[in-house]
Copies of this chain bind each other. A is one copy, B any other.
Amino acid sequence: MSTKQNIEEGSEFIPKFNDDGLIPAIAQDAKTGQVLMVAYMNRQALDLTIQTGYATYFSRSRQKLWKKGQESGHFQKVEKILVDCDQDCLILKVTIDAGQCHVGYQSCFYRALKTGSSKDLQFVAEKVYDPKKTYKR
């Protein structure tokens, strides 16, 4: 039985999927600690990730499994999977060879809210590759 005690203090992996059958997964650069992206996994995506050692997500917009890198070639090699206290969120510590965001940046988090503003963003990163070239293949 999954008690609060088990879930929070135990050593059994009991990932909690939401009503849509999904759990959010944060991909974090294993070397630098930079958060690269957040995506979602269903049970199958998680199993594939564990089995293959490469991140597979479930695309909510396309409603299908999506191995990160299958189009761009920018795979995520999973070094470690962490789970939070209530086991409803994962971190994948990943090794990457190139930019991870489809817009062309290393991380999807390339903009920050300007200090003192609630509406204006500033860019805090430079593009590291040209998505037009990458996604043509």
Contacts and interface: CB of A to CB of B under 8 A. Distances in A.
Contacts of A64: none
A1 interface: no
Interface size class of A (residues with CB under 8 A): 35 or more
A96 to B, nearest CB: 15
Contacts of A118: 13, 47, 50-51
A2 to B, nearest CB: 13
Interface string A34-60: 110110000000010011000000000
Contacts of A80: 112-113
Interface of A: 8-13, 24, 26, 28, 32-35, 37-38, 47, 50-51, 80-86, 89, 91, 101-103, 105, 108-113, 117-124
Contact of A82 (B81, B89, B112): B112
Given A24-B24, A37-B84, 6 more contacts: A11-B121, A13-B120, A13-B121, A35-B35, A80-B112, A83-B121
Nearest to A101: B85
A10 B26 CA distance: 23
